[in-house]
Each structure stands twice: as C-alpha cells, then as structure tokens.
Amino acid sequence: MAAVAALAWLTRRSGRAGAGRLAAGFALALVPILAAPVAAQLLWLAITMIRPGYAELLDPYRPIWYRLAVLALAAAIVVTWYALLRRRIGPAALAVGGLAWLALLGVLLAVAVPGGAYLTTLPALAGAFGGLVALRTRQTGPWPVVAVTAAAAVGVVILLPTVVLLFPALGMAMGGVAALVAVLLGLTALPVVDLLHPQAGGQRGLLTLRARRLAVVPAGAAAAAVVLAGVGLAVDRFDAAHPAPTHLMYALDTDTGEAQWVSHEEELQPWTAEHVSPVERASLRWWFPALGDKSLRVGTAQNANLPAPAVQLVSDSTVGGERTLRVRVVPQRTVRLVSLHVDAETAEVKRAEVAGRAVPVQRQPTIEEASLDRWGFGLVFHAPPPEEADAVTPVRLGQAHPRGMARPGCVSRAYLTVPLRPARQMFSVHPAGQR
C-alpha cells in the first residue's frame, strides 16, 4: 500500500493526474473487478440452459473452449472499460487505481488467507516500483517502457498460472473466480496496454486511423468469447465415451420394507425416467431428514435387503433432571457417510459432543413445532468404518431434557450424501450416463 501511495503522490506531483482523477480512477477500477466475474457466471448460466447436463458436472469433458471464452470475456470487459475511460480519466489515474485495488486485496488476503496474499501484493508492488521508475526517468528514453514492461511481467508470472489452475480446481461453475484473477492480471498490464494507444486527446491523420483500429479490439474480444463458447458447445457433446450425467438415489425403509427411487432432476434423463415418475413428487424429510424439504421425483423400487445402520446405547445417565445419552453409530457396511438425527418429539438436545469435542446445537423445535417437523438435532459422520464398532466415533447427545424415550434416527449413504434413521437407510446410484 505504501508503494502504491507513493506512486499516486508522484503521479499527482508530476501533473499526470490530479487528486480528483486519482480518486475517480480508484473508484472506476472496481467496475471490471465486479463486472467480469458476474459476466462469466452469466455466460455459464446461459451455457447450462442450452445444455442442462452440465449442471451435474464440476467441469465439462472438454472445457478448454469454455475457459478460453471466459478469458476472452474478461479481456473484452477490461479493454472496453479502459478505452471508454482513458481519455476522460487519464491512463495514469486508471493504472494507479488498478494497482490500489490489488494492494487492498493483498491486505484483505493477508488477514483472511495469509499464504495467498502474495498473489496480489507482489504484482501491486512491482507495478508501483515500475511506475515510480517510469516517472523518474527521461520520458524520451527506453527506461520507462522497460520499467512498466518488467512490472507487468511480474504480474503475468504470478497471476497467469493462478488463472490456469483455478479453472480445473473450481470448475466452470465457479469460472467467475478465474475471471476475477484475469481482470487483476489485466490491471497490472495497463501501462503496457497504454503503449499501444495514441496519446490521449484529439488525434489527426494516421493517429486517428490507429485509434479507430484499436476501437475494434473490445468488440473483437467480446465476439471471440461468443464464438469460443459456441465452439465449446459444438465440440463437447455427450456421447457413449462422454455420457450425460444423471441423478438417482435408492431409499429403503427397513421398518416397513418400502423402497423408492429418488431423483432431484428437473428435466429427467431417459435412463432416470425409467425409475422415477415424471409427474409424482414428494418430500422425504419425515423419513430421511438429511434430504431437506425439497420436493423430489419418486418411483417404486424393490427391497434390496440391505443392513440398516445401528445406533448402540453405550451409557444412559441422569443428573439434575438432565439426561445424557452416549451412543455409538455402526454403519454395518461400507458407506460414504452416516447421519444421525434426534426425534424432536422425544427429546430436546441442549448440548452435544463428538469424540470429546463440542458440537454446535441450534435452537431446537418445541413439542408443537415437532409435531409438524419431527427432526431436531442432527449431525453427519464422513467416511465411517463399516464393521469395527469400537472404532466408530462415539457421540454424546448431551444434557437432553427427556420428552419420553429419546429416539435417535440414523441414515447411511453409500455414494452421495443421504440420511437414515436406524431402520431407514438410503444409498445413491449416480450413473455416469444413460444406459
């Protein structure tokens, strides 16, 4: 921040920009920082509307064209913003404003994610020093160009790999994050971009022609984003080797032996439509609370005769009118997770511990509320051991005011996140494509 502040002071002292323009440059630099991520997310929303199967994927099978479209869109926003404001605000004020935002983001990252602060602090520091050298050396010599180019190179070395890594790490559904970093890269390179522009002010002759040619760049970048997205849709099609994703779960109530197929798809894939009704919907929260209140598509399924997870009572004690239950959850088969829920009509959980560590307990429903929505306290075990009951994390449903026989419910899930009561279990079938 100190280096950027020094650059702003020297810029004002050298007459390149006044205090008003520097303030305007800082405020207006926020426009591409906000606009590019929003535009990237809207682009992906439009693509998923055209191809709904993408909504179930972290990343398309062939994502390169879509990633290039996001970068082209970010570039279009930066160059358009710069071309519109360069003459009115001035290139120096816009460059300083961009570096100020990088420095400010560096401070925020230093507080929230100290190990990642270098991503913006180093480009901001390099840009500030490059600007200081450029302003303090002879303007007709080569050193101003060398200084700003070297500073921009630092930003490229640090931020470009970050953009490349963010795409596969977060997927296209979070492409706005990569677009944000791409914009920060563009802001560090503004002094180099300015070298391509004629001097701000009225232009004549060849300079006018050059300015008109440069005006085509923003439109070309925006058009490139649309073309690249279209190429992505044409190239990345679902086929036998790259099947369309679908969602299907199997829910079994071992109390009654009733089994159901369940899917949250709005537009059913043909394979999934063979198992769930395109019309019938139901909320399964009463039996499987971890699924929430969402209305899901359901269909009749055969009983798979799977072992239900067990809740074993380890100890039961009452002190001062408060009852403490210590239980052990045993999945009894290999599952991805198991969830445990307490029937709010039978107990009000005041405190809870898992392996000696306190677990937050939110407000529990009253008896009247529990008659409408029975489940109160709940938690999820990830990757539990299947058979070794002694190794399963013990849970203390601590200090519960009894409302009768405390009744915990348990749900196991073999692939996706699903819930069960002790006698009710769910597992997910999530095929990669259509049959």
Q: Please check whether residues 278 and 200 belong to one and the same domain.
A: no
The alpha carbons of the chain give a radius of gyration, in whole angstroms, of 30
Q: Please check whether residues 195 and 256 belong to one and the same domain.
A: no
For the residues 214-218, what does the mean pLDDT come to? Answer: 67
Q: Please check whether residues 104 and 176 belong to one and the same domain.
A: yes
19 occurs within a structural domain: yes
SS (H, E, C) 382-433: ECCCCCCHHHCCEEEEEEEEECCCCCEEEEEECCCCCCCCCCEEEEEECCCC
Domain span at 283: 245-435
136 to each of 11, 154, 223, 283, 301, how far by Cα in Å?
10, 20, 40, 70, 78
Q: Please check whether residues 388 and 284 belong to one and the same domain.
A: yes
Residues contacting 345, CB < 8 A, separation 6+: 367, 370, 371, 374, 403, 404, 407
Which residue would you say has higher pLDDT here, 48 or 425?
48
pLDDT at position 405: 41
Is the Cβ–Cβ distance between 62 and 235 less than 8 Å?
yes
Give the separation between CA 11 and CA 26, rounded to whole angstroms: 14
Query: Is the per-residue pLDDT at 18 higher than 80?
Result: yes
pLDDT at position 339: 80
For the residues 112-124, what does the mean pLDDT come to? Answer: 90
Structural domain count, the chain: 2
For the residues 410-422, what does the mean pLDDT come to? Answer: 34
Q: Which of these three, 193, 212, 235, is where a domain ends?
A: 235
Is the Cβ–Cβ distance between 176 and 41 less than 8 Å?
yes
- Report pLDDT digits (tens) over 131-159: 888 888 877 778 888 888 899 999 999 99
Query: Is the per-residue pLDDT at 435 higher than 60?
Result: no
pTM of the predicted structure, to 2 decimals: 0.71
Q: Which helix (H) or strand (E) holds 66?
A: helix 64-89
* Other residues' Cβ atoms within 10 Å of the Cβ of residue 24: 19
pLDDT category at 419 given cuts 50, 70, 90 is very low
Q: Please check whether residues 213 and 288 belong to one and the same domain.
A: no
240 occurs within a structural domain: no
Give the separation between CA 386 and CA 244, rounded to whole angstroms: 32
Which residue would you say has higher pLDDT here, 10 or 108?
108
For the residues 354-381, what does the mean pLDDT come to? Answer: 74
113 occurs within a structural domain: yes
Q: Please check whether residues 168 and 281 belong to one and the same domain.
A: no
What count of residues does the chain have?
435
Q: Please check whether residues 51 and 192 belong to one and the same domain.
A: yes
Q: Please check whether residues 219 and 267 belong to one and the same domain.
A: no
Q: Please check whether residues 290 and 366 belong to one and the same domain.
A: yes
Residue 277, beta-bridge partner list? none
Query: Is the per-residue pLDDT at 396 higher than 50?
Result: no
Q: Please check whether residues 173 and 271 belong to one and the same domain.
A: no
Which residue would you say has higher pLDDT here, 288 or 72?
72
- Report pLDDT digits (tens) over 302-358: 888 888 788 788 888 888 777 787 888 788 888 888 888 887 777 777 778 876 777
Which residue would you say has higher pLDDT here, 379 or 106?
106
Q: Which of these three, 198, 215, 235, is where a domain ends?
A: 235
Give the separation between CA 117 and CA 226, rounded to whole angstroms: 33
Q: Which of these three, 235, 269, 295, is where a domain ends?
A: 235
292 occurs within a structural domain: yes
